[in-house]
Structure 1
Amino acid sequence: MTFPAPLTGVVPPVCTPLTPERELDVPSLLRLVDHLVEGGVHGLFVLGSTSEAAYLTDRQRRLVVETVVAHLGGQLPVLAGAIDMTTPRVLDHVASVTSAGAQAVVVTAPFYTRTHPAEIARHYRQVAAACPVPVLAYDIPVSVHSKLPAGLVLELAADRVLAGLKDSSGDLGGFREVVTGARTRPDTTGFSVLTGSELVVDAALALGADGAVPGLANVDPHGYVRLYRLCRAGDWDGARAEQERLCALFGMVGVGDPARMGGSSSALGAFKAALHLRGVIDCPVTAEPQVPLSPEEVERVGKFLAGAGLL
């Protein structure tokens, strides 16, 4: 498959189903992929934050990509995260996921040590020079402690270093600057700007974004595809109503007790619990050392599903 430029539509960051022993649950992953394809999504992003990529071994990461690419057989583009702390480690992941069949890679700024924008630019240029497929930047400062400046993103887009941006920064002003620049500059034609926020997809598309990468689309792909189509049709009242339904459903990420678990355990646990309750995956466990949801918290996830008409 030729990678589209720009990439548009709903591209879920695919959850990684695990067995009780924390190995990759391949049959559940295949059912999840089928669930997303049947929902009408436009691409799949594996090995992102929602995929628990940070918790997976290199062997598990590669197996995820091989499994999804082989199962899809070219139906949809597959983006794979090549996420690690330093440029050499990212290059190792790039080699692994591209040889496994990924049609694009998604890369954060370096992390653990704080980096200067010049070093971030150097990082992306070195990755792109060594990468046989398009490179998308992943702006997620809550995890990597570096915000990608809009001007830097547009510079790298103009130089054909970056093919797109997944923005999970929460900085709507900076996001708008990238969207506007990508739309108006002749040297950024084909650059794809995607929001990583579940809650403002309608607003992002109204600004001119190309699509969305919402983790909640694992649970309700039909809803996000419906939202995307309503926005593209200019039915903003319908889009607002659908977005508000999805915002209510997103409340499930807060079911975990913050006194005993972090926000990631709660959110990823809720997504997996929802997929388990919907019969998509066999086991809702998250990777170690994340804390599992209690039976009472799982019951609350079910109430969110029922309220959204999904159970």
Structure 2
Amino acid sequence: MTLPDRLTGVIPPVCTPLTPDGEVDTASLVRLVDHLADAGVDGLFVLGSTSEVAFLTDAQRRTVTETVAGHLAGQLPLLAGAIDMTTPRVLDHARTALAAGADAVVATAPFYTRTHPAEIERHFRLLARHVEAPVLAYDLPVSVHTKLTADLVTALATDGALAGLKDSSGDLGTLRAILIGAPEGFAVLTGSEVTVDAALLMGAHGVVPGLGNVDPHGYVSLVRRCAAGDWAAARAEQERLVALFAMVDVGSPARMGRGSSALGAFKAALRLRGVIDHPTLAEPQVALSDDEVAEVARLLAAAGLL
């Protein structure tokens, strides 16, 4: 489809359901897409952190994008992550994603390699030159170990090298500076599930919430209340979602990383809600225990979702 002039609203980063043997569960993925679309979301983002992109093979990445694009049939904008260590590898992923049906590409700064700010800028300018679709920057310092500065983002936005930003840094000060400095039409999307009302009050245009897989109706309601200026109702809905977001910490840190805990909780919740068939995580992530899944169920019930 043709992207709107600026992406807005709720654009969930779609989980990647897997079969018990670790293959993409396309039937569950289609049901998840319907679950999100039926809630009234404004777009979908595949192959981000919540999609376990770092764990997927190139063939699995293509399967995910083709499956979602084919099922959507242009009904919603589809963003795809082109996440890899260096510019040539990101370009390969971008071309594959666009050929598979994505409408835009989301890319981080290079990682693993030791880069200078000038090289990060060059990376995004090269993507803009060679990718025949809108490119959004993905600010994810917890994984990439590089924080995109407001000056860099606004310069790239002003020059037309970037169409938008997915900000998962949690840095509201930098987010505000970008909102002040970026040109009209540049999409600023927060990736923080727990400060959506604050980001939208500052002028952000939308949210890319991992928890939106579990409760897309909640985020759609939150954004609509903000748009209507009903900030008291928005705050109440945000606080309900904050309580639900506690599921990301149910996994024991003594035996798993926070990624396993968070993604395991999202997938367990989707399984409990009947959306996907299996809560399988990509290797080498660790599954939640029965007691941890029971805590996810408790949180779902408290949020009115079970």
TM-score of the pair, normalised by structure 1: 0.98
Q: Take 1:289 and 1:126, find their aligned partners in 2: how far apart are those partners?
A: 33
Q: Take 1:109 and 1:169, find their aligned partners in 2: how far apart are those partners?
A: 13
Q: Take 1:133 and 1:28, find their aligned partners in 2: how far apart are those partners?
A: 28
1:112-138 C-alpha deviation (Å, 9 max, x unpaired): 023111101100011111111100000
Find the partner of 1:228 among 192, 201, 223: 223
Gaps of at least 5 residues in structure 1 are: 183-187
Q: Take 1:170 and 1:43, find their aligned partners in 2: how far apart are those partners?
A: 22
CA contact (8 A) 1:194 1:211 kept: yes
**1:88 match:** 88
1:213-244 C-alpha deviation (Å, 9 max, x unpaired): 00000000000000000000000000000000
CA contact (8 A) 1:114 1:146 kept: no
1:133-171 C-alpha deviation (Å, 9 max, x unpaired): 100000000100000010100000011000000000111
CA offset at residue 5 of structure 1? 2.0
Equivalent residue letter for 2:271:
H
Q: Take 1:127 and 1:58, find their aligned partners in 2: how far apart are those partners?
A: 19
- Paired residue total: 306
**1:267 match:** 262
Q: Take 1:139 and 1:209, find their aligned partners in 2: how far apart are those partners?
A: 15
1:224-272 C-alpha deviation (Å, 9 max, x unpaired): 0000000000000000000000000000000000000000000000000
1:263-285 C-alpha deviation (Å, 9 max, x unpaired): 00000000000000000000001
Q: Take 2:229 and 2:148, find their aligned partners in 1: how far apart are those partners?
A: 31
Q: Take 1:132 and 1:32, find their aligned partners in 2: how far apart are those partners?
A: 28
**1:185 match:** none
CA contact (8 A) 1:114 1:145 kept: no
Q: Secondary structure at the match of 2:286?
A: coil
Is 1:305 aligned with 2:300? yes
Task: Give the RMSD, CA atoms, in angstroms.
Answer: 0.5
**1:163 match:** 163
TM-score of the pair, normalised by structure 2: 0.99
Q: Secondary structure at the match of 1:80?
A: strand
Is 1:142 aligned with 2:137? no
Gaps of at least 5 residues in structure 2 are: none
Percent of residue pairs bearing the same amino acid type: 71
Q: Secondary structure at the match of 2:274?
A: coil
Map 1:133-282 to 2 at 5 A. 133-182=133-182, 188-282=183-277
Equivalent residue letter for 2:188:
V
Q: Take 1:86 and 1:58, find their aligned partners in 2: how far apart are those partners?
A: 15
Q: Take 1:60 and 1:4, find their aligned partners in 2: how far apart are those partners?
A: 28
Q: Point out 4+ residue stretches in structure 1 off by more than 3 angstroms.
A: none
